[in-house]
């Protein structure tokens, strides 16, 4: 009986360990895709960024909602400056029905120059809105220099679904929680949520 329990424990441990490792081919493919994805965000090319998104999510949320925060800021006349966007970590998640999943943690830093009196006037409204999206500790309003700096660590979920034959992404964020739950298998979402939230 002890042998059976020991073998069972070793099997569970080896599965848990292997679940955390991405094979080199997948890791390299993810790095390449994420690099392009983050570059397009830096360039504020949100239309092309959508080509990197996992299509089934759009059955539960609109494409317009994906980058609504950034687009609203730009419509207000704020020219976003993205910087220091880099991948910090990648973790494999459970494979379900031949679809592979990974959680990707990355740095996000952006500066919002408040270059007009109108923009400076809306700063008291803008700062709390950004704090609710990125966390209070990640938003600094420099009143004397007229800019808002936003820093934080964000997550993407990478999905390699055989139907699409390449790694695609979801913005793994509380604001898309409902759409993610409807798109991603519960066991995958549970593992990702344990790390991200």
Contact indicator for 90, 30 with CB cutoff of 8 Å: yes
What integer is the mean pLDDT of 114-138?
A: 89
Q: What is the pLDDT of residues 58-82, one digit of tens each?
A: 999 888 888 887 887 788 788 889 9
The pTM score is: 0.80
**All structural domains of the chain with their residue ranges:** 23-196
Q: Quick one: which of 88, 68, 56, 82 has its CA closest to 153?
A: 88
What integer is the mean pLDDT of 149-159?
A: 94
Distances, alpha carbon 152 to alpha carbons 107, 108, 139, in Å:
6, 5, 9
Quickly tell me which residue has 């699409």 as its tokens.
164
Structure confidence at residue 184 as a pLDDT band (50, 70, 90): very high
Output the average pLDDT for the chain. Answer: 86
Structure confidence at residue 190 as a pLDDT band (50, 70, 90): very high
The partner residues of 105 in beta bridges, in order of sequence, read 89, 155
Q: What is the pLDDT of residues 37-62, one digit of tens each?
A: 999 998 988 889 999 999 999 999 88
Query: Distance (Å, rounded) from C-alpha 117 to C-alpha 95?
Result: 52
pLDDT at residue 71 in the model: 81
Within a 10 A sphere around the Cβ of 183, how many other Cβ atoms? 20
Domain 23-196 has CATH 3.30.565.10: no
What are the percentages of helix, strand and coil residues in the chain, rounded to 5? Answer: 55, 25, 20
pLDDT at residue 132 in the model: 85
Contact indicator for 110, 80 with CB cutoff of 8 Å: yes
Give Cβ neighbours of residue 152 (< 8 Å, ≥ 6 apart): 107, 108, 109, 134, 135, 138
């Amino acid at each position: 009986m002890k042998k059976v329990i020991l073998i069972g424990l070793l099997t569970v441990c080896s599965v848990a360990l292997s679940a955390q490792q991405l094979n080199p081919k997948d890791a390299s493919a993810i790095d390449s895709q994420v690099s392009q994805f983050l570059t397009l965000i830096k360039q504020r090319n949100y239309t092309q960024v959508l080509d990197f998104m996992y299509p089934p999510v759009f059955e539960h949320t609109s494409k317009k909602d994906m980058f609504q925060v950034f687009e609203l800021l730009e419509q207000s006349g704020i020219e976003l400056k993205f910087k220091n966007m880099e991948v910090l970590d990648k973790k494999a998640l459970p494979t379900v029905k031949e679809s592979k999943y990974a959680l990707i943690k990355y740095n996000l830093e952006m500066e919002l120059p408040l270059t007009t009196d109108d923009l400076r006037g809306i700063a008291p409204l803008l700062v709390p809105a950004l704090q609710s999206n990125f966390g209070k500790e990640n938003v600094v309003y420099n009143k004397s220099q007229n800019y808002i700096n936003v820093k934080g660590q964000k997550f993407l979920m990478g999905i390699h679904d055989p139907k699409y034959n390449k790694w695609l992404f979801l913005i793994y964020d509380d604001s898309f929680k409902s759409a993610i739950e409807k798109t991603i298998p519960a066991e995958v979402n549970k593992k990702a949520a344990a790390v991200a939230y």
